[in-house]
Amino acid sequence: MESKTLTQEFKPLNQRLEDDEIDLFALWDTLWHRKWGIISLIIIVMMLATLIVLNITPIYRAVATLLIEQRAAKVVSIEEIYGLDGMGNEYLETQFELLKSRDLAERVVRELNLTEHPEFDPRQQPKSLIDFGSVLEDETPTEQELFDGIVVAFMERISVNPVKKTQLVKIEVDMADANMATLAANALGNAYIESQLEAKLNMTQTAASWMNERLGSLKEKLNASEYRLQEFRERENLVDIEGVTTVSAGELSQTGDRLIDARSKRAEAQSQYRQVSSLGSKEWSKLAAVPAVLSNLLVQQFKAEEAKARSKVQELSRRYGPKHPKMIGAQTELNSTTTSLKTQVEQVVASIHREYQLAAANEGSLKNSFQRNKEEIQDIKRKEFKFRELQREADGNRQLYDTFMTRFKETTATQGFDAVNARIVDKAVLPVDPVKPKKSLIVMIAGVLSAFVGVALTLLLEALNNTFKSTQDVETKLNLPILGVLPLLKNKEPKDLFRLFTTETDKSFSESIRTIRTTTILSEMVNPHHVILVTSSVPDEGKSTVSSNLSMALGQMEKVLLLDADLRRPSLLKGFDLPVGSPGLANLVAGTARMEDCIKRIDDVIDFIPAGTVPPNPQELLSTSGFVEILDSLKKHYDRIIIDSPPTLAVSDSIVLSKLANAVIYVVKAESTAIPLAQRGVGQLLQSNAPVTGVVLNQVDIEKSQKYGYGSKYKYDGYYDYYGYSSEKS
């Protein structure tokens, strides 16, 4: 988990975004590669579907067209009697359900004698195709149960389809017998029309009988209500109740207007009365200042004369004494004007009292008169209400009686008229082609579904194949460059693979090794790859083949040493036909063998040090300073040292060796190595700061390589054939 996270951490942002995108070309390539499997599945499924539909009994559909009018042809209007207004979708929906009713189905079954038809009669069939409910298989159904079962089976074959925005409806009957289906569709339409006629006739007769009984009671109610109305009119002496009501209302209105005026005058007089009453009769001087008193002209005149006399007395008092004749005369004149003013004030106050009393009395009289008129009108209204009630009752009874009499006459007149609101527009004709099964459609649908299933299975298998299939997978999942791609070698002995480059028996393989050699050399521009470590995730991925052949390729240019550091499962010794027990690296580090005894010359191209005797503790042996000293000594004599190490995930020897190497080549087996395993192995190396240079994708199937986009680049057969070479030597 840590190595995987570390590997993904070094991914560039654009690559991580690309990981979330769907590669449509890759999906298409996957489907194209497995096209024959998908096509085979489609062909097999379509053949099976064809065999199945050929054994299915064809079903024919007979169609009769019926017109259901929303208003039936009638001589008189009697739809209220029938309870149908002939309008609205509810009416048509009701008629559609009636067409599918059990009553019509039973009529058709009896008319066409379907109980003896081979398609419905279970006694004429090898096995009953009709469900009879609770009837057990080992029991013989009764005639009624047999009839009920056939009716249910026939109802299931009926469909009613209205034509949109019209009053037409199509009656469809599906049966294996085309002729019987035609007869059944026409019989169903005729049965519907007959049932409508019967229903209307029964309803008309029932309505006429009921209305005849009802007319007698209505006549009695009408006579009784008219008698009560006339009796009330005579008892109350009512001749023209409308005129009486109008006169009383006019009098009440006039009295109300006069009462309003009297009430206004009384309020004004009351206001003046309250002004003078609050001061009392002894305070005449103060009463003279009251606005109601002061408004009197005589009071105003006398008050002016008194003021004039008083002014004269005050003026003479400054020149004469009280006994002076002029003073006596002025005082006498003042007393006279004061007496006259007092007398006039008292008269005005008395007048205010009288006016208030008269206004109050007038208001009371008018109020009593208004109340009497009001009571008279209320009494007239009560009589009018009772009169209207009796009159409405009499009018209602007469109207109801007249309506029933009219409807009774209409119903009696239409008893012999057979009018129906439906008719057959197009009779069902004998169907030529079956409606089901639609053989071509079923086969086509089966083919389409099988194609979808084939595509889904292909993509599912591709998704479950969590291995490296292309160089793009390696670069995307491991974020490492591709050093080269080695083709899949078939019919080769394992020991022949280690010298395949020098034998030149496979041109494409040799050219691929040269490509790996070139990319390896070009990758050391900054840091020379003196020591190159070759490893993989798990065993059997071809790391030993890569290390040996890469050594051969580099040996043509440099002095190269191939070092077998896989001290647990060494394989190079057998591949180079060296005797078992030959001293090697383990003996050299342990000090039990000399350097010249351990180095072997292979094909006069490279030197090779085998693993030697398998030690009990390989990792401790490789971690010793003796191994480091040996490696340093070998560096002085060789231009390049190739180390074949154990798999990374099997043991940790490669982690120890990677610290001593200048470059690490990671081998991945195409369509075999799981991506998480490789990510974990590379992650462990990167976590140990190993100089991982790149990846070699091994054992790639060249014939399938075009699917993943690198076949044209790495398929060399055509190139060598063009120059007269063959892929393998004869």
CATH number assigned to the domain comprising residue 687? 3.40.50.300
Statement: residue 13 has pLDDT above 50: no
Give tens-digit pLDDT for 70-101: 754 444 444 444 444 445 577 778 888 888 88
Statement: residue 533 has pLDDT above 90: yes
Choose between 366 and 572: higher pLDDT.
Answer: 572
Statement: residue 12 has pLDDT above 50: no
pLDDT at residue number 665: 92
Q: Are residues 541 and 451 in the same domain?
A: no
Structure tokens at 5: 């996270």
Q: Is residue 37 part of a domain?
A: yes
Task: Give mean pLDDT, residues 270-288.
Answer: 61
Interacting residues of 45 by C-beta distance below 8 A, sequence separation 6+: 446, 447, 449, 450
Statement: residue 725 has pLDDT above 50: no
Q: Are residues 279 and 409 in the same domain?
A: yes
Q: Are residues 80 and 39 in the same domain?
A: no
Q: Are residues 545 and 676 in the same domain?
A: yes
Task: Give mean pLDDT, residues 641-655.
Answer: 88
Task: Give mean pLDDT, residues 17-22.
Answer: 51
Measured in degrees and rounded to the nearest 5, phi and psi for residue 609 equal -115, 110
Q: Are residues 191 and 248 in the same domain?
A: no
* Residue 674 per-residue DSSP state: B
pLDDT at residue number 717: 44
Task: Give mean pLDDT, residues 581-598.
Answer: 86
Task: Give mean pLDDT, residues 688-703.
Answer: 86
Q: Is residue 210 part of a domain?
A: no
Q: Are residues 539 and 673 in the same domain?
A: yes
Strand partners, 436: 59
Statement: residue 713 has pLDDT above 80: no
Q: Are residues 201 and 95 in the same domain?
A: yes
Q: Are residues 167 and 192 in the same domain?
A: yes
Rg (CA), the chain: 64
CB crowding 201-224: b at 16 or more within 10 Å, else e: eebbeebbeebeeeeeebeebbee
> What is the chain's mean pLDDT, rounded?
76
Q: Are residues 355 and 248 in the same domain?
A: yes
Statement: residue 623 has pLDDT above 80: yes
pLDDT at residue number 664: 92
pLDDT at residue number 643: 92
Specify the long-range contacts of residues 226-232, CB closer than 8 Å, at least 24 apart. Answer: 226/394, 226/398, 228/390, 228/393, 228/394, 229/387, 229/390, 229/391, 229/393, 229/394, 232/386, 232/387, 232/390
Choose between 570 and 133: higher pLDDT.
Answer: 570
**Overall domain count for the chain:** 4
Among the residue ranges 114-128, 161-175, 706-720, the one predicted with the least confidence is 706-720
3-state helix, strand, coil in the chain (%, to 5): 60, 10, 30
Q: Percent of the chain scored above 70 by pLDDT?
A: 74
Choose between 353 and 472: higher pLDDT.
Answer: 472
Q: Is residue 12 part of a domain?
A: no
pLDDT at residue number 448: 92
Among the residue ranges 80-89, 341-350, 488-497, 641-650, the one predicted with the least confidence is 80-89
Q: Is residue 676 part of a domain?
A: yes
Q: Are 99 and 160 in contact (CB under 8 A)?
A: yes
Q: Is residue 665 part of a domain?
A: yes
Give tens-digit pLDDT for 559-580: 999 998 888 888 888 878 888 8
**Sequence-ordered alpha helix ranges (H) in 498-623:** 500-503, 507-522, 543-555, 572-575, 585-590, 595-598, 618-622
Statement: residue 372 has pLDDT above 60: yes
CATH number of the domain where residue 325 is located: 1.10.287
pLDDT at residue number 74: 45
Q: Are residues 129 and 262 in the same domain?
A: no
pLDDT at residue number 695: 92
Choose between 177 and 82: higher pLDDT.
Answer: 177
Q: The domain containing residue 303 runs over which residues?
A: 241-413
Q: Are residues 40 and 88 in the same domain?
A: no
Q: How far apart are CA 556 and CA 517, in angstroms?
A: 11
Q: Are residues 178 and 292 in the same domain?
A: no
Give the chain's end-to-end CA distance (angstroms, integer): 49
Helix count and strand count (H, E) for the chain:
30, 12
pLDDT at residue number 532: 92
Statement: residue 688 has pLDDT above 70: yes
* Helix H or strand E encompassing 725: none
Q: Is residue 107 part of a domain?
A: yes
pLDDT at residue number 136: 41
* Helix H or strand E encompassing 109: helix 102-112
CATH number of the domain where residue 113 is located: 3.30.1890
Task: Give mean pLDDT, residues 151-169.
Answer: 85
Statement: residue 200 has pLDDT above 90: no
pLDDT at residue number 667: 92
Give tens-digit pLDDT for 212-236: 667 777 777 777 777 777 777 777 6
Choose between 82 and 376: higher pLDDT.
Answer: 376
pLDDT band at 263 (very low <50, low <70, confident <90, very high): confident
Among the residue ranges 413-427, 613-627, 643-657, 677-691, the one predicted with the least confidence is 413-427
Give tens-digit pLDDT for 385-425: 777 777 787 787 788 778 877 776 666 665 545 556 778 88
Give the Cα-Cα-Cα angle 324, 328, 329 (nearest 5 degrees): 115
Measured in degrees and rounded to the nearest 5, phi and psi for residue 651 equal -140, 170
Q: Is residue 290 part of a domain?
A: yes
Q: Is residue 233 part of a domain?
A: no
Structure tokens at 310: 């008083």
pLDDT at residue number 362: 76
